[in-house]
Amino acid sequence: MDKLKKVLSGQDTEDRGGLSEVVETSSLSWDTRIKGFIACFAIGILCSLLGTFLLWVPRKGLYLFAVFYTFGNIASIGSTVFLMGPMKQLKRMFEPTRLIATIMVLLFFALTLCSAFWWHNKGLALIFCILQSLALTWYSLSFIPFARSFLAVLRK
């Protein structure tokens, strides 16, 4: 309660909010960062949608889907670099609370691309895309306070 009083009264100068910290650490204006985030996120969504449409192309469809879907997810995750900055993004990705989720996401990105380009295995590419989606969901939930704990309680 004391902490809340200090923050509301403006006496807490040692621990500033995340937004002010982000604004001070980036050389881009807030408007530019928002535009970059939206553009990168939109490119990610478009790549993922394009991959979904390319799924139905004969013979090469599943490979194209795996590649575009993976690049779309990478662009979507990369869009947050505009909001946080690259170093803070990397630090937050590898915090202990989301380390396993980050490793799983990166692993499934790599395995999806390997199954499409080197192993030429459509079944594995599809399985890794599904696992990639699940890993990304778990990773995303790690940024929402108590979200994963809430899901664990619901499961019981």
Q: Six-digit token pair at 119? A: 């192993």
Report the alpha-carbon distance of residue 4 to residue 51 in Å, rounded.
Answer: 47
* Alpha carbon distance 25, 27 (integer Å): 7
Q: Which residues of the chain are under the pLDDT cut of 70?
A: 1-26
What digits encode the pLDDT tens for the residues 109-152? 999 999 988 998 888 988 999 999 999 999 988 888 887 778 77
H-helix or E-strand spanning residue 40? helix 30-54
Place of tokens 């204006």: 29
CB-CB contact of 142 with 148 (8 Å): yes
